[in-house]
Amino acid sequence: MSEILLKRNDYYSLIVDGVHVGGTWIGHNNFVEPKESMSENDKVVMMFSIGEQFKGKGYGKILLEKVIETEKDKGTKTLRLAVLTDNEIAINLYKECGFVIDGYVREMYYMWREL
């Protein structure tokens, strides 16, 4: 099985055996409030998703791990995100990849991790 991470502008795609199985946007915005200590090297994870027919096969974890490694190599210091509190699958995935819950606003958790 070949797993390739492609990056076009701020969007990453995970390609498995030539097929796009999912992707995510990693960049700068104020959708998730930055912590006071955060700098230019802090980015936000958005639109993280795996295609319906590819869910539950470990691709979400592969995508996130590859994105973390790539962003680390590029000098990114932290990643942060917001996730609905009832999205147990995504929360589990983010926790497994080192993210911790850092706040709560309405139905969303804020999570972050250092790279």
Ligand X SMILES: CC(C)(COP(=O)(O)OP(=O)(O)OC[C@H]1O[C@@H](n2cnc3c(N)ncnc32)[C@H](O)[C@@H]1OP(=O)(O)O)[C@@H](O)C(=O)NCCC(=O)NCCS
Cβ 90 to ligand X shortest distance, Å = 4
* C-beta of 38 vs 59, nearer to ligand X: 59
* C-beta of 37 vs 108, nearer to ligand X: 108
Strand order in the sheet with 108-114: 3-8, 11-16, 19-27, 42-50, 78-84, 108-114, 100-105
Residues 19-78 that bind ligand X (CB under 6 A): 48-50, 55-61
- The answer to whether the CB of 66 falls within 8 A of the CB of 79 is no
| 94: amino acid identity, one letter | Y
Which range of residues in 3-11, 31-39, 72-80, 91-99 is near ligand X by CB under 6 A? 91-99
31 pairs with which residues across the strands? none
φ, ψ dihedrals at 59, nearest 5° = -70, -35
* C-beta of 35 vs 95, nearer to ligand X: 95
Strand pairing category for 11-16 and 3-8 = antiparallel
Cβ 95 to ligand X shortest distance, Å = 7
Interacting residue with ligand X among 88, 102, 107, 114 (CB under 6 A): 88
State the residues that interact with ligand X by CB under 6 A. Answer: 48-50, 55-61, 83, 87-90, 92-93, 96
